[in-house]
Amino acid sequence: MLDGVVPFPADLAARYRAKGYWEDRSLIDVFGEVFDRYADRVALIDDHTTVTYRQIDERSKLLARHLLDLGIRPLDRMVVQLPNTAQFVYLYFALQRIGAIPILALPVHRRREVEQFVTLADARACAVPAHARDFGFVDMVKLIMADHPDLSLCLVQGLDPAAAEGPFVSLDALLEQEPSAPESALDGIAIDPEDPAVFLLSGGTTGIPKLIPRTHNDYAYNSKLAASVCDFREGDVLLLVLPIEHNLPLACPGMQGAFLEGATVVLSTSTRPRDVFERVQRHRVTHLHVVPALLILWINDASASDYDLSSLHIVQSGGQRLQPEVRQRAEALLPGCFIQENFGMAEGLIMFVRIDDPEEVRRETCGRPVCEDDEVYLVDEEGRPVPQGEVGELVVRGPYTLQGYFRSPEYNARAFTHDGFYRSGDLLRMDRTGNYVVEGRRKDLINRGGEKISAEEVENLILSHPSVLNVACVPYPDEVLGERMCACVVTKPGASLEFAELVEFLEKMDIAKFKLPERLEILENLPLSGFGKVSKKDLTAMLASRTA
């Protein structure tokens, strides 16, 4: 097993195998069968190409052989930061074929975040687009490579082959060339199904990133379970507009679950209403993943009536709580479509509302766990179970929930109980039907449209500004995104700070734009709790009243 991965205890692993949850097969063994079973079906459509399951199989094998030529070996780590295109899919399965591990960074991440991933995982390679809007990823990688000599390879999508030099290799060109390594070189690669198939990113509360190891055993089961409650049928089409590096569009059920069912996956890099509606109409999309902020944007767009959206069967919402009135408006716009709420985490546990649930459950809850061996408890601050109907912190253990973050023993000691239950920091309550309702979180996070922002990370950066004495970053309500972030700042005596100045300062830190504060409050002091800590509860209440 890869050093730094916390294994499942032997008794739990034996239980999960005995019940058939774990099949002790690698992801590529599972999906290799899928590629054969549905070989001639259309598997994937992006803005430039349409490919069958057989072609994904062939192109991922081709790319895997190139990776061997380039020195990538089993358990090597590669930061993958590609947009929603077919090249992501080819590379994802190519890495699975050789047992290398993708670290799935988001397209919006910048040098600060990517360098943290490289450092924590000892990544040997990365894969990026040449450009996205006005940002040059190659220049970013060059800066990271200067400080990390072991990062020796960068695959670049959209790179002119003539401009490829040194460690920078054109991903597009590789897909058009014959590699030196024979296909037989792939046959001898042994993959331990208890090793990580992929590293997902945690929305953790600290400024240090956490990598979530999802094993071959647990991640295949995760997608199989999710697909089983999303009512896939023959000929169904899933549209993915959320970044595919997220757990939801990748595996809940996402691309992996759709492929297991032989469905077609449409990839889009645009979330603009007209672009989404046009794709739904053109491809007769049946399934669609959203976060509430996008759903609100779409149902309020007047152009929706210009398109035939009648093919939509399930719109699955995750990332944050979906308000009942939003669901009602969406269902009025899309008659016969099930707006399916789910609660999930990259760390594992997923809950779904089922399509045949009573109206009360469908409108008011995020459903219930998908596996009978998801051990779920809601506890108070002392770790004691709370009565049904009361709010408590979610703690969970199960066949697809991690036992520890990668190479984070000190954090793991706080985040997990002695018997391996994950302390999620999410606050839920169980209603009288046995389903769950999300009530908030104990973790110090801002949930901006489904993207989780660590308050501590941004606070540490703001504290380095010469005018700042103290700072607390807290959420304030927003009708579309749910929450936005406000920086509550105490300036040094005689100093001043303007909002535009603060944003410009943080932009120089090379952080993702969604982490930038969208409001600044200058205060004489920060309110303190009875324990002498900054009372973010009081700050949040103050902002909510001012916003109202």
pLDDT in tens, 410-466: 999 999 999 999 999 999 999 999 999 988 777 778 889 888 888 888 988 998 999
Cα→Cα distances 102→76, 142, 200, Å: 9, 20, 9
What's the confidence (pLDDT) of residue 495?
93
Mean pLDDT, range 81-107, rounded to an integer? 97
pLDDT at 281 over 70: yes
* 3-state SS assignment for residue 467: coil
* Domain topology for 217-441: Rossmann fold (3.40.50)
Predicted TM-score (pTM) of the model is 0.88
User: Hey, do 51-192 and 445-547 end up sharing a CATH topology, with the first three levels equal?
Assistant: no
pLDDT band at 297 (very low <50, low <70, confident <90, very high): confident
CA distance 5 to 18: 23
What's the confidence (pLDDT) of residue 247?
96
- Write the pLDDT tens digit of every residue in 231-263: 999 999 999 999 999 999 999 999 999 999 999
What's the confidence (pLDDT) of residue 190?
95
What's the confidence (pLDDT) of residue 411?
93
CATH code for residues 51-192:
3.40.50.980
CA angle in degrees (0–180, nearest 5) for 10-15-17: 95
What's the confidence (pLDDT) of residue 187?
93
Q: What percent of the chain shows pLDDT beyond 70?
A: 97
- Write the pLDDT tens digit of every residue in 211-239: 999 999 999 999 999 999 999 999 999 99
Mean pLDDT, range 76-82, rounded to an integer? 98
* Domain topology for 445-547: GMP Synthetase; Chain A, domain 3 (3.30.300)
Q: Report helix angle 216-228 to 27-37, nearest 10.
A: 40
What's the confidence (pLDDT) of residue 206?
59
pLDDT at 186 over 90: yes
pLDDT at 341 over 60: yes
* 3-state SS assignment for residue 420: coil
* 3-state SS assignment for residue 399: coil
pLDDT band at 529 (very low <50, low <70, confident <90, very high): low
pLDDT at 3 over 90: yes
Tokens of 5: 């991965």
pLDDT at 205 over 70: no
CB 349 within 8 A of CB 376: yes
Cα→Cα distances 438→97, 102, 248, 265, 530, Å: 38, 31, 17, 30, 27
Mean pLDDT, range 268-281, rounded to an integer? 96
Q: Which helix (H) or strand (E) holds 32?
A: helix 27-37
Where are the domains positioned within the chain? Answer: 51-192, 217-441, 445-547
pLDDT band at 54 (very low <50, low <70, confident <90, very high): very high
Half-sphere exposure (Cβ direction) of 491: Cα atoms closer than 13 Å: 12
CB 310 within 8 A of CB 277: no
CA distance 92 to 115: 21
What's the confidence (pLDDT) of residue 175?
97
Mean pLDDT, range 144-157, rounded to an integer? 97
